[in-house]
A and B are shown apart, each in its own frame.
Chain A
Amino acid sequence: MNNTITEPAAIEIRGLRKDYGRFRLGPIDLDLPAGYVTGLVGANGAGKTTLLKSVLGLVRPDAGSVRQGRDGRVRPGIDLAGTGVVFDQLTVIPEWTARGAAAAIAPFCPRWDATLFADLLERFRVASDARIGTLSRGEGTKLSLALALARRPGLLILDEPTSGLDPSARRDVIDVFAEFMAADEGHTILFSTHITSDLDRIADHLRVLAGGQLVEAGPLAEVLERYAMVRGPSVALSAPARAAVHGLREVNGVFDALINVRHTALFGPEVLIEPAGIDDLVVHLGRTEGSPR
């Protein structure tokens, strides 16, 4: 008997659109599976932050809906009381201490766990009476994470939580994610990142944004298996091959590009075909927005 991966959506986005003039997000249809870690990737300016802000209600979309499954039904909007949020910049006053920030936020959070907050600070080696303005980037992020987790959320949404962190701090953050996921089968994480090595291990699902569009979605391993990287001499690129590749780059007569695995037959033995990584998807899918899969 097998465990089937059932995927009720924690968050359901339909037809989301936001127009900023020079940049347009959407229309986006996206499901965030409950109980899993989903990585959201894309180049800078692809729309990751706008998407997350739309989900959280920070930004009003021009069209579309965001709904969340809770209490057995699908309801409009997000339940902020059960959501922990971390942005890549701190959202607290620099003069506050860590303890002060917690005291400011706790009254709004019905499930606030002061013990958990203190434990996390200790583990992260952030002094509870340290002025937030004096914290390093890594410490600041870890404080944000502690503040988010102490709310005992069921859903964690993070925008580039590990950017600017040294490898040791990143490891700490990933460890905390792993424990959060183990704590309850309903716990869900959505995080956007450039640092795809973080996703390689702990992400269950992947969503790829490029030019404001969702260009790939699915379980991580499956999505990667749909693609391959090809490298070789430019002369080996036939016209049909040229048309079929994503994000072709040519330098000094050598090319590299991303292809769908069903197109590998377009290439001969003089090219190198290798499995694609998440970085490859971000780089090459981003260069040809809206290209057919």
Chain B
Amino acid sequence: MQVILSQTSGTPLYEQITEQLRAAILRGELAEGTQLTSLRQLARDLRVSLITTTRAYNDLAASGLIANVPGRGSYVLAVDREAARAEATRALRDQLGRAVGTAVTAGIEPTALHLLLDEAWNEQHDH
């Protein structure tokens, strides 16, 4: 699994790393027990500072997705499907709330909104 960083996305580098790893873990691409690249190796591979990778791994650990074992490395933990689903639902609620707000402001009907949702879903699954 490769982390690919965008220079221009505006999202801080550590956040991009966190998000990509989180997605990979939730997708199951990084199985439970997998050892992640060491902080220093990752910093070198991505050409970022050590503090950046440290922060990314700390955030992942705070979310309960990985464990940072001093002297041994960082390991993917078992995904708590319930908790992950609940967190994703919360995030979706926020995002959808904003989407609805945009639609209302522009005078777009719910049916059009549903169509857009289907389109977006199909696009994702084509990849």
- Tell me if chains A and B make direct contact, with any CB pair below 8 A: yes
A178 CA / B50 CA spacing, docked (Å) = 10
Within 8 A of A (CB), among B34-76: 39-41, 43-44, 47-52, 54-55, 57-58, 61-62, 67-70
**Provided the pairs A37-B50, A204-B49, A220-B49 are in contact, do residues A3 and B67 lie with their beta carbons within 8 angstroms?**
no
Q: Do residues B62 and A2 form an inter-chain contact, with CB atoms below 8 A?
A: yes
CB proximity of A184 to chain B, nearest CB, Å: 9
Is B62 within 8 A of A5, CB to CB?
no
**Known contacts A2-B58, A2-B68, A204 near B44 by CB under 8 Å:** no
Given contacts A35-B50, A204-B51, contact A1 B61 (CB under 8 A): yes
B50 touches A204 (CB 8 A): yes
Chain B residue at minimum C-beta to C-beta distance from A175: B47
Interface: A202 (CB within 8 A): yes
A5 to B14 Cα, complex, angstroms: 15
Q: How many whole Å from B59's CB to the nearest CB in chain A?
A: 9
Cα–Cα distance between A205 and B52 once the two chains are bound (Å): 11
Known: A2-B68, A3-B68. A178 touches B51 (CB 8 A): no
Q: Which of B56-113 contact A (CB under 8 A)?
A: 57-58, 61-62, 67-70
Q: How distant is A223 from chain B, measured CB to nearest CB, in Å?
A: 12
Contacts of B69 in A (CB 8 A): 1
Contacts of B48 in A (CB 8 A): 201-202
Residue in A174, A204, A205 whose Cβ sees the most chain B Cβ within 10 Å: A204
Extra A-B contacts (12), CB below 8 Å, given A201-B49, A203-B49: A1-B69, A3-B68, A175-B47, A178-B44, A179-B44, A182-B43, A182-B44, A201-B13, A201-B48, A201-B52, A202-B43, A219-B51
Residue A221 lies at the interface, judged by CB distance under 8 Å to chain B: yes
A-B contacts, 10 listed (Cβ < 8 Å): A1-B69, A3-B54, A3-B58, A35-B50, A178-B44, A181-B50, A182-B44, A201-B49, A202-B48, A219-B51
A1–B70 alpha-carbon span in the complex (Å): 9
Q: Does A185 contact B (CB under 8 A)?
A: yes
B56 to nearest A CB, angstroms?
A: 10
- Out of A35, A36, A178, name the residue touching B47 (CB < 8 Å): A178
Contacts of A182 in B (CB 8 A): 40-41, 43-44
Give complex CA distance A185, B38 in Å.
Answer: 11
CA of A202 to CA of B48 in the docked complex: distance in angstroms? Answer: 5
Distance (Å) between the CB of A12 and the closest chain B CB?
Answer: 20
User: Bound complex: CA of A198 vs CA of B112, how far in Å?
Assistant: 46
- Among residues of B, the one whose C-beta sits closest to the C-beta of A1 is B68
What residues of A have a CB within 8 angstroms of the CB of B57 in the complex?
A: 3
We find that the number of chain A residues with CB closer than 8 angstroms to chain B is 22
Q: Which residue of B has the minimal Cβ distance to A197?
A: B7
The total of chain B residues at the interface (CB under 8 A) is: 23
Q: Max chain A CB contacts within 10 Å: which of B44, B49, B51? A: B49
Residues of chain B with a CB closer than 8 A to A2's CB:
58, 61-62, 68
Q: Which residues of B contact A175 (CB under 8 A)?
A: 47
- Please provide the chain A residues from 197 to 246 with a CB less than 8 Å away from any CB of chain B in the complex: 201-205, 219-221
Residues on A with C-beta less than 8 A from B50 are 35-37, 181, 204
Question: Given the complex, which residues of A lie within 8 Å of B12, measured CB to CB?
Answer: 221
The distance in angstroms between the C-alpha atoms of A2 and B74, with both chains bound, is 10
Closest Cβ of chain B: how far from A147's Cβ, in Å?
Answer: 22
Given A179-B44, A182-B44, decide whether A3 and B49 contact each other with a Cβ distance below 8 A.
Answer: no
B interface footprint on A158-187 (CB within 8 Å = 1, 0 otherwise):
000000000000000011001101100100
Cα distance A22–B118 when bound, in Å? Answer: 71
Q: Which residue of A lies closest to B50 (CB)?
A: A204
CB distance from B60 to the nearest CB of A (A): 10
A219 to B68, CA, bound (A): 21
> Which residue of B has the minimal Cβ distance to A202?
B49
